[in-house]
């Protein structure tokens, strides 16, 4: 397909030429040079110089927050400064193979969860020398989205022992959601992923250990109890933790309302995505509503065996309603051979490329398996005959032929099943209703009647988009989507952003 290169900004008549080599650069000129450099600042292609400089400042502030501000407050045990880095409703999660997930909600709870690092036992520390753990944080990657941003970075814990020799205690990475709060960037969510953590002699746990983890069988039982209670209209049958929250199609409502008041059993189409590492299970399937099938996706997160998060999207009026006998692909339940399983981070990175491709209308941005199949609301949309004798579309073709209409933002990982190479993501599928350079190029490359159809149907709107991916040989082999459609007000979000 035709690629759209970066727009070259011509120098306007009367504008001062940037200083040449050998001349001192002012701070403003230096900032402008940065703003105009490289693909990493492509978000500023239509902004003013002031907007570009603001974006440069935002990126610098976020990089400072996720690296030096965080590590300095943590390593110096300045808990007031540490707490000030988080929004009042922030969430902090620690995920490691050595112990169950640990999660804290709210600025105050995050501060209380941290205990100063323990010193080595008395007699083992030379006078004036304190056993210490320091954090080294590198490679921050920031994506700006107005007053919100996401970031990833790598971290390493270095322990300085009694002999003053450093040793690496743990390594991992951070995944952050950030928010501008009263003019200052803060963490709204920080997830800490640990690859390995070695014990420190004489140390105590830095966070209180929660209840034992809910394994796959436990999670499946929790989902079945939830679905059975829904079709029986008995919300009291669901054990709920303090702080429980329920949404349907992005709107927070009391449990028992919405689909809970109209659903009829039994549950038909079933796909489970268990994620014991985060005490989460997701589900794609169908129930009946007033005698007709509807398609839905559910995410449950448990704390101490009780449901604390219940996120649901319900697709009514989809083609699936005309196919009540549809069944889920058996491959989603098959275990992946151990030798072919990929780490959680790799699975997520591969899957997220689909959203990049969909937003840009560029199938080359995602690694599709040659046998890739996509199903939306229970209906297969690729690999099927097309009227007029045209060959069936592949997953790649499906992306190439879709007009790049949407901004796919507020992306979240719902669940990852590492035993089956499954990743379940959600994003806000927003149509701004205006032409982008990609859409303008698409209109030129397609027949006028297709452009006319786009003009008639595209209006500013949003809707949650749930996508399940099965990865095979490092590529996207199967896609199962539940799409409510862009029917909500523009910028509505998913209800959990």
Bridge partners for 415 per DSSP: 424
Q: Which fold has domain 42-197?
A: Nuclear Transport Factor 2; Chain: A, (3.10.450)
Q: Where are the domains of the chain?
A: 42-197, 216-328, 332-483
On whether the pTM is more than 0.85, the answer is: no
333 CA to centre of own chain: 23
How many CA atoms lie less than 13 Å away from 319 in the CB half-sphere?
9
Least confident residue range of 17-21, 245-249, 465-469: 17-21
The residue among 401, 494, 487 whose CA lies nearest residue 450 is: 401
> Phi/psi zone of residue 451: left (φ > 0), alpha (ψ -120 to 50 degrees), beta?
alpha
Radius of gyration of the chain (CA): 25
Is the distance from CB of 138 to CB of 148 less than 8 angstroms?
A: no
Q: What is the pLDDT of residues 20-58, one digit of tens each?
A: 334 443 443 444 344 444 443 443 344 578 888 888 999
Q: What is the pLDDT of residues 124-177, one digit of tens each?
A: 333 333 347 788 999 898 888 888 888 889 998 887 766 667 778 788 889 898
Per CATH, the number for 216-328 is 3.10.450.50
Is the distance from CB of 369 to CB of 477 less than 8 angstroms?
A: yes
Please tell me the predicted confidence (pLDDT) of residue 389.
63
Q: What is the pLDDT of residues 373-422, one digit of tens each?
A: 998 887 888 877 666 666 778 899 888 776 666 678 888 899 999 999 99
Same fold, 42-197 and 216-328: yes
Contact residues for 23 (Cβ-Cβ < 8 A; gap 6+): none
Q: What is the pLDDT of residues 70-88, one digit of tens each?
A: 988 888 878 888 889 999 8
Q: Which long-range contacts (CB under 8 A, 24 or more apart) does 98-102 make?
A: 98/194, 98/196, 98/197, 99/209, 100/209, 100/210, 100/211, 100/212, 100/213, 100/279, 101/210, 101/213, 101/277, 101/278, 101/279, 102/207, 102/208, 102/209, 102/210
Angle at the Cα of 458 (from 456 to 461), degrees rounded to 5?
A: 145
Per CATH, the number for 332-483 is 3.10.450.50
DSSP label of 212? P
């Amino acid at each position: 397909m035709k690629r759209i290169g970066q727009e070259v900004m011509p120098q306007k008549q009367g504008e001062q030429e940037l200083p040449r080599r050998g001349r001192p650069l002012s701070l403003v000129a230096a900032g402008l040079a940065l703003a105009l450099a490289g693909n990493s600042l492509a978000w500023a292609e239509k902004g003013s110089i002031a907007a570009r400089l603001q974006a440069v400042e935002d990126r610098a502030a976020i990089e400072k927050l996720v690296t030096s501000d965080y590590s300095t407050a943590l390593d110096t045990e300045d808990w007031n400064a540490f707490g000030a880095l988080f929004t009042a409703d922030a969430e902090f999660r620690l995920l490691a193979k050595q112990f169950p997930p640990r999660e804290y909600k709210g600025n105050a709870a995050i501060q209380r969860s941290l205990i100063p690092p323990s010193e080595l036992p008395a007699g083992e520390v030379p006078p004036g020398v304190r056993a210490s753990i320091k954090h080294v944080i590198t490679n921050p990657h920031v994506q700006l989205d107005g007053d919100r941003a996401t970031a990833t970075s790598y971290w390493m814990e270095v322990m300085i022992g009694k002999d003053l020799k450093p040793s690496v205690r743990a390594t991992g990475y951070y995944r952050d959601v950030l928010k501008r709060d009263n003019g200052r960037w803060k963490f709204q969510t920080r997830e800490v992923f640990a690859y390995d953590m070695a014990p420190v002699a004489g140390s105590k746990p830095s966070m209180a250990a929660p209840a034992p983890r809910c394994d796959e069988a436990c999670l499946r039982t929790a989902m079945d109890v939830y679905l059975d209670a829904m079709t029986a209209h008995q919300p009291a049958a669901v054990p709920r933790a303090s702080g429980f929250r329920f949404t349907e199609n992005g709107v927070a409502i009391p449990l028992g309302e919405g689909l809970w008041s109209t659903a009829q059993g039994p549950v038909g189409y079933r796909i489970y995505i268990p994620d014991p590492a985060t005490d989460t299970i997701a589900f794609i399937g169908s129930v009946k509503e007033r005698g007709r099938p509807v398609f839905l996706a559910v995410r449950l997160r448990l704390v101490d065996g009780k449901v604390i998060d219940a996120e649901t999207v319900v697709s009514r009026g989809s083609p699936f309603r005309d196919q009540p006998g549809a069944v889920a692909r058996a491959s989603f339940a098959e275990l992946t051979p151990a030798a072919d399983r990929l780490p959680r981070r790799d699975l997520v990175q591969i899957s997220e490329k689909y959203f990049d491709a969909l937003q840009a209308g560029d199938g080359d941005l995602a690694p599709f398996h040659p046998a890739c199949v996509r199903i939306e609301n229970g209906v297969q949309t690729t690999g099927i005959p097309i009227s007029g004798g045209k060959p069936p579309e592949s997953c790649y073709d499906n992306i190439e032929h879709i007009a790049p209409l949407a901004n796919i933002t507020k992306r979240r990982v719902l669940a990852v099943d590492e035993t089956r190479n499954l990743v379940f993501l959600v994003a806000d599928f927003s149509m701004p209703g205006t032409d982008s350079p990609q859409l303008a190029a698409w209109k030129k490359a397609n027949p006028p009647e297709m452009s006319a159809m786009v003009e008639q149907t595209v209006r500013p709107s949003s809707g949650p988009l749930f996508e399940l991916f099965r990865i095979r040989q490092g590529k996207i082999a199967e896609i199962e989507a539940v799409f409510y459609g862009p029917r909500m007000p523009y910028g509505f979000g998913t209800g959990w952003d």
